[in-house]
Structure 1
C-alpha cells in the first residue's frame, strides 16, 4: 500500500491506497480508530480490488482540526472529495462501526456513484448528544473533562470490550489505538465531535438507502449489538445480514479471512 497526506475540506488527511484496474473500494473506520482497523483484511482485498483507506479528521494520523465541523454530513462530503481526487466512480464502500453510518450518509448523497455497501458492525439509530452535553462542550475546560474520560478506562480495557478473543490484543494494536489519544489536540477535536455530531439516520432515512448492502456482524458485539444489524437488515431495502459466533465488535481483527470472503463474493457477483 502507498501512503500520503491529502488536504481535503481544509484538513490534512492521512491516506493509504493501491490503485490498479480492479474495482475500487473505500474503507472507512469507526470512532477513535484508524485505517489500522483494516490491516488484517487489506492483504486479501488488494488481490482483487483497488483500495483507498483514510483516517477521518480527528482520528489516526489525520489532523486534529480545531475548525473542522465534525459531523457525519461533513465526513461524508470529505469522502466524496476523496473520490473526486482519485477520480473514482462506481465505488463500493466498506464501513466499520461509525464508518458504516458514514457510508450510508454517502449512499444517500450520491447513490449513482455508489455500487454497493458493506457495513461491518455498523452504528445504527444512535441519537445526537443531549443538548446539555452540547452546551457543556462550549465551556473552556470541557476538553480537559473529555481527556480524563478518554484515559479513565485506558486503551487496553477498550480493546477488551471490542474483541471477543483477547489473544488478538498485541502491543502493536495497543500502540495504534493509543496514537490519536497521545495527540495534544485530540481531546479538543473530540469536544467538537460531541458538539456537532448528528444522530444516526432515522428508520425513514435508512429505508431510502437503496444501495445493495451486506451487513457483517459478530454475535458477541458489546458495542453495537446484533439486534441493530437485524433491524438494519429489515429496514434497508436491499440488505443481507451475516453473523459470526464468538466474535466481537472489531470483526476485521478477529475474522479477516471470513470478512474478505464475504466481501469478495458480494462484490464480484
Structure 2
C-alpha cells in the first residue's frame, strides 16, 4: 500500500539537494532515480507514477539541476555527485536499493557501484552515458573568462528546449507545452548557467572499460534503437564491459525512454527483479 509522498531539501556534501520520496508500506524494494544532463526529477514523472504503486521510490535532482543547489563552490564531478547521492541515501536510512539512471544519471550510478559495491542489489541503466571523454583543455580554460556563463546561456537559448526534445525523442507527437515547460523551468535563472560553467571544468571522463569490468552488480541496460545521443553501439559495448548485465533494445524509441516507453520500461524492470529474486530463492 503506497503512503503519502513528501518532497524535501537536504544539505549533504556541502550542497542543497532536492528530492521526492514515495514511501511504501511493504518497503520490499527502494528505487533511487537519477536523471540525465539538463534534466530533473520531472523526466521520471511517468515512471514514478507506475513504480510507486508497488515500491518505495526516491527521485533526486542532481546538482545543479532541477530544484537542487547551484553553488559555485561545489565540485560538479561525477565522483562528487555520486558521493552526494550516497550521503543522501544514508541520511534517509535507505537499504536494499536498486538504482535507475538515465543518460548522465546512468554514469553517476556506475560511479556509485564502483565506489560502494555493496550499496545496491541491482541497477537499471536507461540509455546510460558511457565512454565520454573529459572536456578539452581549450574549453576548460575558456570557461574561466568573465561572463562565460552568458555564452553558455546563449548556446542553450539558441538550441532551445523543443529542439533538444526533438533530438531526444523518436515520437515527436508526444511533445506538448506541459513537457516543454517542465524541462524549461530550471533554466529560467542565471545561477544554473554559472553552475554549468563550473561543471565544464569539474566533469571528469566516464569510467574506462577496465573499471567497468570490476563492477559485479547485476545491471539491466535498456536502450532505444533510434538513440541519437547515446547510440545503441554504446549500449552494446557497455553490455560487454559490465560482466553481469543484459541489454534490452526498444524499437522505434529515442534517447528519452522514460518519456516514450515508461510502461514497457517498468515491465522489463519487474521481470528483471523477479528473475533475480527467483535465483536467490
TM score, norm. by length of structure 1: 0.98
CA distance in 1, matches of 2:273, 2:146: 48
Aligned to 2:259: 253
Aligned to 1:13: 17
1:202 corresponds to 2:219: no
Gaps of 5+ in 1: none
Moved more, 169-178 or 99-108: 169-178
Deviates more, 1:212-221 or 1:84-93: 84-93
Aligned match for 1:52, one of 45, 53, 58:
58
| 1:33 and 2:39 are equivalent in the alignment | yes
8 Å CA contact retained: 1:40, 1:256: yes
* Structure 2: gaps spanning 5 or more residues: 276-281
CA distance in structure 2 between the partners assigned to 1:48 and 1:264 by the alignment? 10
Distance 1:113 1:49 in 2: 18
1:23 alignment partner, one of 29, 38, 44: 29
Matches within 5 A, 1:1-269: 1-20=5-24, 21-269=27-275
Give the drift of 1:141: 2.1
Q: Do the aligned partners of 1:90 and 1:112 also contact (CA within 8 Å) in 2?
A: no
Conserved 8 A contact 1:34-1:60: yes
**TM-score, length basis structure 2:** 0.94
**Counterpart secondary structure, 2:249:** strand
Shift of 1:236: 0.3
Cα deviations by residue, 1:105-159 (Å, 9 ceiling, x for unpaired):
0001111121111000000100000111111111112111111111111111111
